[in-house]
Amino acid sequence: MLFDLEKASGAVAYKLLTGLVAPRPIALITSMDAEGRLNAAPFSAFNYLCTDPAIVGVGISNRPEAAGVLKDTGLNILATREFVVNVVTEDIADKMNICATEFPHEESELEAAGFTTAASAVVKTPRLAEAHAALECRLYQVIDMPRSKIVLGQVVSVYVEDRFVDPKGPYVKAEELHAMGRMNGLGNYARTRDAYVTINRFKYEDWKRGRE
């Protein structure tokens, strides 16, 4: 099948792209409003985009039920110019899912999910104590879209629980972290436990020699 996305609706693009750009990392973002009220919500329109400087990008759409109103996470980031990306692993996936519920602004999804917080090293917004790794970000740039915003954040500090760090790199022991990936918008996820394969890259000369 061929889909002409210049003619199709955004809903069609959403269904196709979330099924094909997968598995996607999930940023469970903690953010604060101007009064210091804390918010947590997952975003899988997310990736790192640059390492020098360290930039991550997040696509945050408007609230589905309120036309033209950005989701709380987006409003908070615009207000405080900072946020924290908590890495979603298997053990906190169910809690993450509770945070995706459209809670009213004054109700805490963190409490509902049973998350607690820990102070961040650089930004005021705390990280989630139950998350094994977190990226502290300052707002770098906002790209306005008709019904959403693309937020670029500069990562100013990275927290990783000691047991998941190989200090030689420093590398993340990703095969032990058990991060989850989102596979579509239908509630399907990929586990990375027992799914690890190593595919080493090789130099052109080695590839050529292998074919001789």
Ligand X SMILES: Cc1cc2nc3c(=O)[nH]c(=O)nc-3n(C[C@H](O)[C@H](O)[C@H](O)COP(=O)(O)O)c2cc1C
Q: Say which residues have a Cβ less than 8 Å from residue 89's Cβ, sequence separation at least 6.
A: 131, 132, 177, 178, 179, 180
Q: Is 41 in the site for ligand X (CB under 6 A)?
A: yes
Q: Shortest gap between Cβ of 56 and ligand X (angstroms)?
A: 12
Q: Is 95 in the site for ligand X (CB under 6 A)?
A: no
Place of tokens 């104590």: 129
Q: Is 42 in the site for ligand X (CB under 6 A)?
A: yes
Complex with ligand X: residue 97 or 192, whichever CB lies closer: 97
Q: Shortest gap between Cβ of 180 and ligand X (angstroms)?
A: 8
Question: Which is it for strands 27-32 and 24-25: parallel, antiparallel or unpaired?
Answer: unpaired
Q: Is 71 in the site for ligand X (CB under 6 A)?
A: yes
Q: Kindly write down the DSSP assignment for every residue of 11-70, as one continuous string.
A: HHHHHHHHHHS-SEE-EEEEEE-TT--EEEEEE-SEEEEEETTEEEEEEEEBPTTSTT-B
Q: Shortest gap between Cβ of 63 and ligand X (angstroms)?
A: 6
Q: Is 73 in the site for ligand X (CB under 6 A)?
A: yes
How many residues sit close enough to ligand X to count as binding (CB under 6 A)? 17
Element (H, E) at 73: helix 72-80
Among 130, 153, 182, 184, binds ligand X (CB under 6 A): 182
Residues linked to residue 160 through DSSP beta bridges, in sequence order: 133
Q: Shortest gap between Cβ of 111 and ligand X (angstroms)?
A: 13
Q: Is 43 in the site for ligand X (CB under 6 A)?
A: yes
Q: Is 102 in the site for ligand X (CB under 6 A)?
A: yes
Complex with ligand X: residue 64 or 170, whichever CB lies closer: 64
Q: Within a 10 A sphere around the Cβ of 21, how many other Cβ atoms?
A: 13
Q: What would the two tokens of residue 131 be?
A: 């998350």
Dist. CA 203–CA 205, nearest whole Å: 5
Q: Shortest gap between Cβ of 20 and ligand X (angstroms)?
A: 15
Q: What is the DSSP letter of 173?
A: -
Complex with ligand X: residue 26 or 84, whichever CB lies closer: 26
Q: Shortest gap between Cβ of 113 and ligand X (angstroms)?
A: 12
What is the contact surface with ligand X in residues (CB under 6 A)?
26, 39, 41-45, 59-61, 71-73, 97, 100, 102, 182
